[in-house]
Amino acid sequence: MAYLGTPAATAEIIRKYGFSFQKKFGQNFLVDANILNKIVDSADIYKDDCVIEIGPGIGTLTQYLAESTGKVIAVEIDKNLIPILNETLSGYENVTIINGDILKTDINKLVCERNQGRPVKVIANLPYYITTPIIMGLFESHVPLSSITIMVQKEVADRIQSGPGTKDYGVLSLAVQYYARPEILMQVSPACFMPRPNVGSAVIRLVKYEEPPVTVENERKLFALIRAAFNQRRKTLANALANASYAPENGKEVRITRQQVCDALDKMGLSLTIRGEALTLEQFARLCDIF
């Protein structure tokens, strides 16, 4: 099977199978060999690695991965793509195709069965409509993984990488940075996809920490606190948290008084008028432990 990473080869296979792109599955296939090579080169993969690819589409990136790594497990939701994948990946014995929804797949079980529980690398040109649940699902379910290299909407890559005091800084930045070190690898123009998306894209790599960079007594409580702080990001932290009720454990609502927030800020030597967007991950962890 010839490489698919060109507009002509992609159009040909799509025509052959009478395939129609499904917007609801975020189907924008890569048709630029230069970008495909760059993704594989920068994904830091070796022959003894096991890669999970989310959404292989017609198998374009999968072909490149199969040649550079030991094992590829590709999970694709669209059953109409399975016959195509069976053809385009027929020459690769190291690829397993699974027809399923990644959000409903027990990835821990998959890693256990297919890679003896050893850490995998996740690589994907993600369907943009579920980028955040996929990333957070991988981290929060504690799947054994060493890195995630993904194509996402440029704006999402900026949000993931940004730090305190910037307009992009928020829940996603803090949640990802608790688990991994993010690095934007490249910007990708809409012209590299078929059909072209309406937004710019970027490839970002998240290298998972062995241990989170901050210690906190209760991880769930930390994330609940961060969500509450950014729910009303224009307010001061004291007002945002005092107005919020948040549910750190088993849906049990917890309320903090304005006075409690002010006392905690005082204890940390922070201004009482500070906003959540100015706090570092470490300061959120400290605040959480004080509460």
> Closest separation between CB of residue 252 and ligand SAM, Å?
31
Q: What is the CA radius of gyration of the chain?
A: 21
Separation between Cα atoms, residue 206 and residue 43, nearest integer Å: 10
The token pair that represents 58 in the structure block: 């017609």
101 near ligand SAM (CB under 6 A):
yes
Please select the residue that binds ligand SAM; options are 26, 119, 137, 212, rule is CB under 6 A.
26
Burial class (CB in 10 A: 0-12, 13-18, 19+), 207: middle
Site string for ligand SAM, 61-80 (x = CB under 6 A): x-------------xxxx--
Parallel, antiparallel or unpaired: strands 145-153 and 120-125 = parallel
Separation between Cα atoms, residue 271 and residue 193, nearest integer Å: 48
- Residue closer to ligand SAM by CB (options 76, 158) is 76
Please select the residue that binds ligand SAM; options are 69, 115, 125, 149, rule is CB under 6 A.
125
Separation between Cα atoms, residue 225 and residue 244, nearest integer Å: 9
127 near ligand SAM (CB under 6 A):
yes
Please select the residue that binds ligand SAM; options are 9, 13, 28, 230, rule is CB under 6 A.
28
End-to-end alpha-carbon separation of the chain, Å? 60
- Residue closer to ligand SAM by CB (options 152, 225) is 152
264 near ligand SAM (CB under 6 A):
no
Size of the site for ligand SAM (CB under 6 A): 23
> Closest separation between CB of residue 186 and ligand SAM, Å?
14
The token pair that represents 68 in the structure block: 């550079």
153 near ligand SAM (CB under 6 A):
no
Closest by Cα among 261, 282, 290, 266 to 163: 282
Residues that bind ligand SAM (CB under 6 A): 25-30, 54-57, 60-61, 75-78, 81, 101-103, 125, 127, 130
